[in-house]
Chains A and B, each alone.
Chain A
Amino acid sequence: MNTFSVLAKKELSQTIREFKIIWLPLVFMLIGATQPIMMYYLPSILKMLGGLDGITIDPSMTQVSGAEVMASTIDAQFNQLGTIILVVALMGVIQSEKANGMLSFILTRPVSTLSFVWSKVVSQFVFLALCLSVGFLTSYGYAALLFSTVPWGELLLSMLSYFVWLLFVVSFVVMVSTIFNGQGIIALIGIAFLFFCTVTAGLHPILAMFSPAGMSLQSVYLLSTGTFDPKIGWNLLVSVLWIGVTIGVTYFWIAKKKFQK
């Protein structure tokens, strides 16, 4: 068995032993369900709180489609609470191996730096993509139940494009986790930078062009309008470049043994 699969297998058994495989999908299920349920009950909540001479709600405003509900799930839940949870789940991925000395230990074995970095990024990405899929499907289910069904193709494509952003999230946090030694600072940098990417990408089209969050925006765009924005090719290219750079930095940092104190 080659070292990549040995290391990836170890990552998988770790998620099982640490019960990540149970709580993380549950959390995303919860996040996925929140938005459709909230949107469904929002009119009645507003009606109750609105009183007699409050604001009048135009009933047509609340006639949203299932796809729009899913778009706002991504926008208001996955991109916010979801990102925080992803960073927290990922922050120790290399940091803890540095702290307990296993990283140096593993590298005294005939293990290439590349297979070490890849095993981390790939196994975490696959696992988190599964967790997010659970969230997407929950949101899809509630949207279909309470609003209208979303076409399967749209769901699938929006998930795929969101996963490109997820891959960036994973490779970015892995990089930060390699460079810094404190969990607090890793979480802070991870969350701050990823929020910065999402917010700036939504602010201005030029900024969106260079933001790694372009693909998560595309996912929202697809669900709200039914098609991808024509700039998707460019967004994909930029995202791949960002992923390449972060993995490259991680590789360099470990290969040059800069992780040693």
Chain B
Amino acid sequence: MRLEISDITKTFKTKKAVNQFSMTIEKGECVGLIGPNGAGKSTLIQIIADILEADQGEIRLDGKPIATMKREIGYLPQYPNFYQWMTAAETLFFMGELSGLTKHELKRDIPDILTRVGLAGEEDSKVGTFSGGMKQRLGIAQALLHKPSFVLMDEPVSALDPIGRREVLNLIQAIKEETTVLFSTHILNDAEEICERFVVIKSGEKIEDTTKNGLLNRNRDVAIQMMIGTGNNSWWEHVKQLPYVQKVNVFGNKAQIYVNNIELDKNKLLGEALQHHIDIRNFEVGGTETIEEIFLDLVVGV
């Protein structure tokens, strides 16, 4: 399913929650919508799920307005909530019937999906007794039950403990083979792990739309990372004096060394270190920033 979001704007009273947001998601793609709290992620997801009405712009799934394609959407809200008096199986039955599944299909699929989300054995427990994590799992079960071709998830793992988080990430990993997935998160590692593509949103505007490698390469700030044994601290002073070294940032026995030409100068530096009988623990050429830092730069720095 190809999702086209064009020019979505939504204003609450005076606050612009989403501002002229556009993007296209191709069939089978998995996209992470990343942004700090209050960036407009949930608002955008709710507009895509047709819960909120946008002031302007439109959402199309396979070229048709989203309101006519609800059978193809699986939606997980940020805080899934169900009728307290229903059991887990009854909830899935109810939601499944609303999506047009037959009793036969539901009887066959519900035990299976409950097992997949880790709720086997809880079929007949009242939802009112469920913990937050269990409700989240049930929410995921109802989003996947009718085998939608487009799955939309608002913070699917933020409320889970590390074990639950791992299970859910594996689950998303498994469904993304055959489904288009869009999910929001403020935890970058989650997105990094399962998505190829990130869209960064800040103050309702798209500020970055890139792949993981694109993000890493674009901001690559090349330097030599060097770590030495203790007792060699005069070595850093020596390095600072070298003609081809621009700058040295020392952190105890570790340092980032910026040189004029990384290709030529890295070997010179290594040779210099060997000559001085430095106890080298680590010598690495690479980016100084992790994805986390790039993310921080993007959302805080801009």
List chain A positions with a Cβ less than 8 A from chain B. Answer: 1, 3, 6-7, 10, 14, 17-18, 100-102, 104-111, 256-257, 260
Contacts and interface: CB of A to CB of B under 8 A. Distances in A.
A153 B58 CA distance: 58
Interface of B: 46, 49-53, 70-71, 73, 75, 77, 79-83, 85, 94-95, 97-100, 103
B94 A108 contact: no
B85 A108 contact: no
A194 to B, nearest CB: 28
A260 B85 CA distance: 24
Given A256-B53, A257-B53, A260-B52, A109 B98 contact: yes
28 contacts: A3-B98, A6-B98, A7-B98, A14-B85, A17-B85, A100-B81, A100-B82, A100-B83, A101-B77, A101-B81, A104-B46, A104-B51, A104-B77, A105-B80, A105-B81, A105-B95, A107-B50, A108-B50, A108-B51, A109-B95, A109-B99, A110-B98, A110-B99, A110-B100, A111-B70, A257-B51, A257-B53, A260-B52
A4 to B, nearest CB: 11
Interface of B, secondary structure class, is loop
Nearest to B12: A261
A102 B49 CA distance: 14
Query: 10 shortest A-B CB distances, which residue pairs?
Result: A109-B98, A110-B70, A104-B51, A17-B85, A6-B97, A108-B75, A100-B81, A101-B81, A257-B53, A110-B71
Contact of A14 (B81, B83, B103): B83
Contacts of B70: 108-111
Contacts of A101: 77, 79-81
Given A104-B51, A260-B52, 10 more contacts: A14-B83, A14-B85, A102-B81, A104-B77, A105-B80, A108-B50, A109-B98, A110-B70, A110-B71, A110-B99
A214 B19 CA distance: 51
Among the interface residues A1, A6, A102, A110, which one has the most CB atoms of the partner chain B within 10 A?
A110
A106 B49 CA distance: 11
Contacts, number: 58
A232 to B, nearest CB: 41
A80 to B, nearest CB: 31
A104 B51 CA distance: 6
Nearest to A1: B97
A116 B293 CA distance: 47
Contacts of B100: 110
A109 B71 CA distance: 7
B82 A102 contact: yes
A144 B73 CA distance: 59
Nearest to A256: B53
A228 to B, nearest CB: 43
A106 B91 CA distance: 12
A173 B80 CA distance: 27
B94 A10 contact: yes
A166 to B, nearest CB: 26
A106 B73 CA distance: 12
A109 B96 CA distance: 9
B72 to A, nearest CB: 9
B83 A257 contact: no
Nearest to B102: A1
Nearest to A5: B97
A3 B81 CA distance: 20
Contacts of B82: 100, 102
Contacts of A100: 81-83
A114 to B, nearest CB: 14
Contacts of A110: 70-71, 98-100
Contacts of A105: 75, 77, 80-81, 95
Contacts of A256: 53
Contacts of B85: 14, 17-18
A102 B81 CA distance: 7
A108 B83 contact: no
Name the residue among A3, A14, A18, A108 with the largest chain B CB count within 10 angstroms: A108
Q: Which of A3, A106, A109, A257 has the most CB of B within 10 A?
A: A109
Contacts of A17: 85
Contacts of B94: 6, 10
